[in-house]
C-alpha cells in the first residue's frame, strides 16, 4: 500500500511539496480515504486505531490482483 499526503481543492488532488512521488508506470484503481478532523480532547490513539481498522477493512474488501508479489517484482524488472 502506498500513502501520499496531499491536499484536495474540491476539484483536484495535489501532493504536498515534501512528498516524493513514485514514477507512474501504469494506471491502477485507488481508494481515497478522507480523514476527518480529530476533536479536541479525543483519544488520538483510539482514533488512529479506528482509522487503521477501516483502511484494513477497505483493503480486504478489494479483489486480489490476480498476480503474485513475486510476479509483480519480476514484471517491474522487465520494464
CA dihedral for 27, 28, 29, 33, sign (positive or negative): negative
pLDDT surpasses 80 at 1: no
Instruction: Identify whether the C-beta of residue 28 lies closer than 8 Å to the C-beta of residue 49.
Output: no
* 20-53 pLDDT tens trace: 777 777 777 777 776 667 677 777 788 788 888 8
Higher pLDDT, 36 or 79: 36
Distance CA 7, CA 37 (A): 14
Please report the pLDDT score of residue 65 as a whole number: 75
pTM flag (> 0.75): no
Cell 513475486 belongs to which residue?
70
Bridge partners (DSSP) listed for residue 15: 6
Domain ranges (residues) in the chain: 6-78
Amino acid at each position: 500500500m502506498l500513502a501520499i499526503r496531499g491536499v484536495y481543492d474540491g476539484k483536484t488532488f495535489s501532493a504536498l511539496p515534501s512528498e516524493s512521488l513514485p514514477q507512474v508506470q501504469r494506471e491502477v484503481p485507488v481508494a481515497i480515504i478522507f480523514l476527518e478532523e480529530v476533536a479536541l480532547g479525543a483519544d488520538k490513539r483510539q482514533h488512529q486505531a479506528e482509522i487503521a481498522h477501516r483502511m484494513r477493512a477497505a483493503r480486504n474488501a478489494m479483489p486480489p490482483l490476480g498476480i503474485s508479489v513475486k510476479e509483480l517484482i519480476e514484471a517491474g524488472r522487465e520494464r
